[in-house]
Structure 1
Amino acid sequence: MALPRTKRFFLLCAFSYAIVAIAEKNYYEILQVPKGASDELIKRAYRKLALKYHPDKNPGNEEANKRFADINNAYEVLSDSEKRSIYDRYGEEGLKQHAARAGGGMGVNMQDIFSSFFGGGPMEEEERIVKGDDVIVELEATLEDLYMGSTLKVWREKNILKPAPGKRPCKCRNEVYHRQIGPGMFQQMTEQVCEQCQNVKFGREGFNVTIDIEKGMQDGQEVVFYEDGEPIVDGEPGDLKFRIRTAPHDRFRREGDDLHATVTITLVQALVGFEKTIKHLDDHLVNVSSKDITKHKEVRKFKGEGMPLHSSKKKGDLYVAYDVLFPTSLTEDQKSKIKEVLG
């Protein structure tokens, strides 16, 4: 039975939104906050990311400039309650349609947002905020993970702040005032003033952390989870940082964006040529054959068969060293034939 025209229309719209949503960027992921994040958490996340990827700190880095634009675009939407509500329900396409109906556009002036948040003039450094300790975890990733990209899950236990009975002094600050001690004479006084807050205690909590290993990440690069480090009373938690380390591999050795491998061949193969392939990290085969004489320890380059460059479509190179396996002994007849052939 055919569906009524109105129902078909709404089904088509829903399907269109689903297709668009797959291709759209996730503003919450861009700012590295959960979907239900508070306005304050969104502001803090924006501050950290905008300072990190600002063009002044990354001159000539196109990827950083692109990230900076995405960060500002995401903050423009998530910091506006109306836009955020539309985005949560209908995604980026819904925002564009709303802007079109309102006669406006979805364009974002990055400098306007940054200036309104940090002030005008040259880029200012992040203001001093009391923070808990950062937690740095050395994360060993396989070459396969770093070649193809991967997702790892790590169990994490940390301290969390929980309410406790009683009150405690908090948000303490120094207040300066003047007291008259005689005709025309004043004494400056400084007094610490504190508010009363709910008491807190530390408890332990465990959960899985999902870490995205991006193609081509280098040793020392970090995957950062902001404010997921150690908490501190009356301050912001530190950050949780997973620092990438490449695990040893049985077939390849990595140097930057290049890979190195060793292929063993016989003396006969070294002299007359050979047919040979090696299996790459994603299981595709690389032809390392030769029709010429191959010297012991000779190294040949295979362009574009190395590691992918991080945040790029390019790849490094593969360098293959040939290890010629010499015979351990020869008979007199073999020696004579070799002399006869080689002169």
Structure 2
Amino acid sequence: MAKRDYYDILGVQKGASKDDIKKAYRKLAIQYHPDKNPGNKEAEEKFKEATEAYEILGDDQKRQAYDQFGFAGVEGMGGGPQDFSQTFRGFEDIFGDMGSFGGIFESLFGGGGPGGAGARRGGGPRQGANLRYDIEIPFKDAVFGTKVEIQYTRNDSCSVCKGSGAANGAGRKVCPTCQGSGQVRRSSGFFSVAQPCPSCGGEGYIIEKPCTECGGSGTQKKRQKIMVTIPSGVENGKRVAIPRQGDAGPAGGPPGDLYVFIRVKAHEYFERQDEDLYCAVPISITQAALGAEIQVATLEGKTIKVKVPPGIQNGKLLRIRDEGVPIQGRRGNLYIKLMVQIPVKLSKRGRELMEELAKAEGENSTPKPISLSELSEQ
């Protein structure tokens, strides 16, 4: 059965704002929530369908990929019930004071949210937390790529109990509070909200004799050093994902991921716009009037010869092909903005020559104003 378009599911136009998308999803989630429609499989499917649509359209990166490539563009980025728990971590703003809304999805999709017990019930240990690390790199390294060594602290599997949390020979027993479900439920109006069991932390069992090394958590703090590869062309604010380098999961669960967020330092001379680089280079009046061949240093550190055509005006751009940002096997361009510099002080001979030039070429004592739109295009 073919999947429905995500915009059609939420009933919004393709150009809808994030606010409109959020409102549309909230309305459908409340309308079709299974607790309001007990035993209604059609309502439950519509609820899941709306949630999947919101997971994609509520995220700028996923929405852009979906708009450009359709379902193929978001394959592996979410859009399925197994990934919903990550989406709902940031949904408190949608449902306001409705309580712990994440518990609803744990009960429907098998959990996996913060402390979600449903993911563990019959599904094995839960995954560890994702971690964030912020770095600042030079402009040049962001353009051409680099490798950066970082150090950070993460929860690693306990070396004594191998992540189980139990002392040697000790076992586990079913939690008496939740009877092994890992959840307790409470009612709030129309909603029945599932929350992690306070006795077992959502695990569904308790350890009879905890490991003395880790106190039963199955993890220990560890200082870690790794090398991070920064790809060429990375932009300010982007992140690099490093799988399985986050916190180890409790009770032997798999580790989360590490996300390295990148800040790019401004360069003294160069600026970037998409795949292109820009810089400004000063030239003299005579070079602008007569034309010249100048040498310009690129961001890469090499020197290139640039021909200045005669009569070029102040602020004009010269394009140097394939000297911009390298991205996915291609390179952008370098644009050089020529700034004609007027001498602040002339020598006696220079003044004489300028006066001769003025007489030879004539001076316009009644210049016509220039359109501001023409100036903005320079």
TM-score by length of 1: 0.53
Contact 2:320 2:333 in 1 (8 A): yes
Contact 2:174 2:180 in 1 (8 A): no
Change (3 A) 1:338 1:232: same
Measure how far apart 1:266 and its partner are.
1.3
Task: Name which of 144, 150, 154 aligns with 2:146.
Answer: 150
Task: Name which of 266, 281, 294 aligns with 2:312.
Answer: 294
Say whether residues 1:340 and 2:365 are aligned partners.
no
Q: Is the partner of 1:296 in helix, strand or coil?
A: coil
Cα deviation per residue 1:281-329 (whole Å; 9 max; x = unaligned)? 33343332213222222222333321122xx222222221112111113
Contact 2:152 2:223 in 1 (8 A): yes
Cα distance in 1 between the residues matched to 2:307 and 2:337: 12
Q: Is the partner of 2:278 in helix, strand or coil?
A: strand
Task: Name which of 312, 318, 340 aligns with 2:334.
Answer: 318
Q: Which residue of 2 aligns with 1:206?
A: 223
Task: Name which of 207, 211, 215 aligns with 1:196.
Answer: 207
Change (3 A) 1:298 1:123: same
Change (3 A) 1:339 1:160: same
Change (3 A) 1:268 1:237: same
Say whether residues 1:243 and 2:261 are aligned partners.
yes
Cα distance in 2 between the residues matched to 1:207 and 1:305: 38
Gaps of 5+ in 1: 1-50, 72-117, 177-189
Following superposition of structure 1 onto structure 2, how do residues 126-205 of structure 1 map, counting pairs within 5 Å? 126=83, 128-129=111-112, 130=115, 132-162=128-158, 163=160, 172=175, 174=179, 194-196=205-207, 198-199=210-211, 200-201=214-215, 203-205=220-222
- Counterpart AA for 2:359: E
Measure how far apart 1:245 and its partner are.
2.4
Cα distance in 1 between the residues matched to 2:341 and 2:302: 26
Alignment: residue pair count? 225
Contact 1:143 1:281 in 2 (8 A): no
Gaps of 5+ in 2: 1-55, 84-109, 116-126, 182-196, 363-378
Change (3 A) 1:175 1:232: closer
Tell me which protein shows more strand as a share of its residues: 1
Cα distance in 2 between the residues matched to 1:260 and 1:317: 9
Following superposition of structure 1 onto structure 2, how do residues 271-282 of structure 1 map, counting pairs within 5 Å? 271-282=289-300
- Counterpart AA for 2:266: P
Measure how far apart 1:242 and its partner are.
0.8
Contact 2:276 2:335 in 1 (8 A): yes
Change (3 A) 1:155 1:238: same
Q: Which residue of 2 aligns with 1:183?
A: none
Measure how far apart 1:334 and its partner are.
4.1
Change (3 A) 1:125 1:203: closer
Contact 2:322 2:333 in 1 (8 A): yes
Contact 1:147 1:281 in 2 (8 A): no
Q: Is the partner of 1:276 in helix, strand or coil?
A: strand
Cα distance in 2 between the residues matched to 1:253 and 1:269: 25
Measure how far apart 1:196 and its partner are.
2.1
Cα distance in 2 between the residues matched to 1:291 and 1:297: 13
Q: Which residue of 1 aligns with 2:372?
A: none
Measure how far apart 1:211 and its partner are.
0.8
- Counterpart AA for 2:151: W
- Counterpart AA for 2:258: L
TM-score by length of 2: 0.48
Cα distance in 2 between the residues matched to 1:273 and 1:128: 70
- Counterpart AA for 2:339: D
Cα distance in 2 between the residues matched to 1:305 and 1:319: 9
- Counterpart AA for 1:306: G
Measure how far apart 1:251 and its partner are.
2.9
